[in-house]
Amino acid sequence: MSEIVKRLVDEHLSLGGYALLMSATLGDTLRAKIEGRLRVDLPSATARQYPVVSTPNRQICVQASGIRTTAIVIEHRTAALVRARQVAGDGKAVLWIRSTVGDALDDYRAFQSSGTQVMLHHSRFADADRRYLDSEVLKLIGPNSKRSGSVIVGTQTLEQSLDIDADLLVSDAVPADVFLQRLGRLHRHRSGTTPVAVILEPGDWQLRITSDGRPLGGPGHGWAWVYSPLSVRETVEWLRGRGVVSVPNDAREFVELATHADHLEGQARTYGQSWVEHWQRSYGRALADIQQALAGMVDRTQGYDQALVNERVPTRLGDGSVDVEVMRGLASPFTGENIDALSIRANWLRQAEPGATASVVGSDTTGRALIDIGGTRFTYGVEGLHRT
């Protein structure tokens, strides 16, 4: 996406346009790339004023409208489950965000078994059900909502777009820029408060990468498959040493420590060879990702007859997803309305017959619909879509 954004900005400027970069989470590594300059060193990047309005030749400091300080607690999942149940028991709302659907499901079921009011929100629901779940989340913790003691368990789908305001945030260990996005959903519409955010203890860092530098996730630690363990390590250890994060005061230092390429390389070398291997893998993968992005872009130097303008190019790396038509019989487990299509991960359909549609062929003992897609079986219910 950074390569696509840079190309978009370059082409826009070449046509006489202007570009305004607005972000609390934009580090100098990406900013320098977009601005077409060499990145500055870490001390210079962290010393920049924030918030500020700037051009290449001028800077105008902006008075922050307020300062939000959040207390940070790093604790193991078991303790965090107890804390969340207590907060929900006091009639407050907890936002519990994991990095993978598998980890979110495990926690959702843990809250269910304890009798805690809980709802689940992730990407593996039909579009109609996602809209329904969005509306339910907003009823609980949206503007002017009638909040009640509950826990909302989900994935990254909860950290963007929704205007929500939780009493307590519990999050996986994630990089600083991602964590700041999640903090924006905590006491969002309040002032003069010092909320608490919990980060789930990542444990021994050496267990999160292999000896040759590959990220190593696993049950309860799916974040390592999604985010660089090196960036996450820098984020968590900075927070562990401080116990609070203050916005806007800490924004620049916090983000740069987790995103500045030169700093991350230097830290990898201090952590040992496996971390150097990890940094090199990340760098090599980034180069491959850039080539993939470039391959999907329209070459505007060519005429329309030469440009590939009809190709469908995903905005996320990986196998992507496939929209599969549901021929009959699938009803929403929430509203009872008919579902006519499901978005399914492409790698889940590798064994399915090409062009197959989805048909409901029964239900399992828990009431989930059994779905057949070209010989590959799935279930769909209140926990979303799953392979059998």
pLDDT in tens, 131-184: 999 999 999 999 888 788 999 999 999 887 789 999 999 999 999 999 999 999
Query: Which pLDDT score is estimated for 317?
Result: 55
User: Would you tell me which CATH number, out of the four given (3.40.50.300, 1.20.1740.10, 1.10.40.30, 3.30.2310.20), belongs to the domain 68-247?
Assistant: 3.40.50.300
The residue with tokens 């290449």 is 56
The pair of three-digit structure tokens given for residue 130, joined into one six-digit string: 């996602």
Burial class (CB in 10 A: 0-12, 13-18, 19+), 211: exposed
Dihedral sign for Cα 263, 267, 273, 278, please.
negative
Strands of 184-296, DSSP E:
196-200, 244-247
345 in Cβ contact with 319 (< 8 Å): yes
Encoding tokens for residue 252?
């620049």
Lowest mean pLDDT among 23-27, 118-122, 265-269: 23-27
387 and 377 Cβ atoms separated by less than 8 Å:
yes
Of 93-102, 117-126, 139-148, 244-253, the one with minimum mean pLDDT is 139-148
Q: How far apart are CA 60 and CA 324, in angstroms?
A: 51
In the chain, residues under CATH classification 3.40.50.300 are 68-247
d(CA 177, CA 334): 34
What pLDDT score does 56 carry?
Answer: 75
Let me know if 372 is exposed, middle or buried by CB neighbors in 10 A (0-12, 13-18, 19+). Answer: middle
Using a cut of 0.85, tell me whether the model's pTM lies above it.
yes
